[in-house]
Amino acid sequence: MDRRAATLLSLGILALAGCGGPPPGGPPAATPATAGRPATTPPAVDPGAASRRPAAAPREISFDDIKLEMEKGAPFTRDLLPNRVTSLAGTAIRIRGYILPSFQQTGLTQFVLVRDNQECCFGPGAALHDCIVVRMRPGKTAEFSIRPVAVAGTFKLDELRAPDGSHLAIYALEGDEVK
């Protein structure tokens, strides 16, 4: 395994533990339009309605859809991201790839999804756009497989850098499901 893959494993997997957290919550603050008015009772909501509604199908994409036009070894800058990639941010997607091997085989809460299991991704010279850091949503896990997997979740642009400032990954996925 080359230095980049080892760093992805050590920084991209181990250092990601505990990242993020629940968004701030609480009741909305009063605005000038609502200040002084009595609180109103919200309309009745059927708590089971959301679970009965079919979820929107994730958009099927491939690593070709998030490929960047950049010279090998060139530094990454945000202006290299084409609209077809930036427009995916926040979108539910499904993408096929391989789970980068690590020491953990079961109960994965985060892993690196790579384009393929050939030398291009595990060896030197792997393209920056050929990997996605997957963080499974709370309560969700994945199992390592040597076979290709399909990962569904919310696509994000999230730069992961090495201590020297170089980019290790630029894409992330909040994982909902791995099949």
Nearest to 111 by CA among 97, 125, 90, 126: 97
Residue for token pair 């030197």: 124
Domain ranges of the chain: 3-18+59-178
Per-residue pLDDT for 145 more than 60?
A: yes
The model's pTM is 0.69
Cβ neighbours, 10 Å, residue 113: 27
Residue 8's pLDDT band (cuts 50, 70, 90): very low
Record the tokens describing residue 175, joined without a space.
């994982």
CATH architecture for residues 3-18+59-178:
Beta Barrel (2.40)
Distances in whole angstroms, Cα of residue 111 to Cα of each of 35, 50, 56, 106, 147:
47, 30, 25, 11, 15
Overall average pLDDT of the 76-91 stretch: 96
Q: Which residues touch 81 (CB under 8 Å, ≥6 apart)?
A: 68, 157, 170
More confident call, 178 vs 23: 178
Q: What whole-number distance in Å separates Cα of residue 148 and Cα of residue 21?
A: 30
CB proximity list for 2: less than 8 A, separation 6 or greater:
122, 123, 124, 126
Average of per-residue pLDDT values in the chain: 76
The reported pLDDT for the residue numbered 117 is 79
Give the model's pLDDT for residue 82.
96
